[in-house]
Amino acid sequence: MEENLKIPQHVSIIMDGNGRWATSHGKPRLFGHKEGAESLRACMQFAVEMQIKYLSIFAFSTENWGRPEEEIQGLWSLLLESINKETSYMIENHVRFRVVGNLEELPEYLRIAIHDAEEATAACTGSVLVVMLNYSGKWDIVQAANRFAEENPGKKMEWADMDRYLATAGIPDPDLLIRTSGEERISNYMLWQTAYTEFYFTDCLWPDFRKPEFRLALEAYSRRKRRFGKL
């Protein structure tokens, strides 16, 4: 590991550009998602190599339900295939698998596969792969506030309370957020948790984002000085 490269504890990625990548290659959108799964595999391996403790990915937002049903079902099938394919790798490389989001709306077969993979990797103590699925920042804040109110009637919520009631409780806030495809927004993603996150935007479409592009993001992060509102 390079001495001048600062390694974030938590890197989060908004994986964008699968559809545009597929269109540019004359392929259907689902082909882009399949190629994007290969990028995720490469990035997970790189995170393990670089000893990044947390790698989180924005896999499916609550707004994504507005996409064609065929594409959504294709995404579920692809996710199921990836979980079944990668669980053995995660166990061998001590990667813990976690899924965060409103899972009640997902197909039962997918919820079972997620539960089984989480259980199989629960004892892993290396990197943690966090998949944000059927997730949005606004949903997370609202569900946290509602749960707090139910469990603490009449009590005023403090900042620390919010951290404990968010769906990401126990996961440190991202140090670095990467978004691919040239878009420069966070699209309702971890709104509370990214208050002091460093953002890195790249024109690279997600299916083309592999280890060299990941390293460029880490190099950019290493050149920044994080002040957290201080001098």
Q: State phi, psi for 6 to the nearest 5 degrees.
A: -85, 125
Query: Which of 16, 140, 173, 175 is the catalytic position?
Result: 16
* Catalytic residue status for 64: yes
Is the CB of residue 25 less than 8 Å from the CB of residue 68?
no
Q: What is the largest CA-CA distance in the chain?
A: 58
Which residue, among 204, 219, 198, has the nearest Cα to 12 in the 3D structure? 198
Which residue, among 226, 216, 208, 161, has the nearest Cα to 36 in the 3D structure? 208
- Alpha carbons 164 and 192: distance in angstroms, whole number: 12
Buried b (16+ CB within 10 A) or exposed e, 9-26: ebbbbbbbbbbbbbeeee
**Angle between helix 108-120 and 69-92 (nearest 10):** 10
Q: Which uninterrupted H or E stretch holds 179?
A: strand 176-179
Q: Which residues pair with 129 in a beta bridge?
A: 55, 97
Which residue, among 56, 41, 132, 52, has the nearest Cα to 90 in the 3D structure? 41
Query: Which of 64, 93, 102, 188 is the catalytic position?
Result: 64
* Catalytic residue status for 16: yes
* Residues known to be catalytic: 16, 64
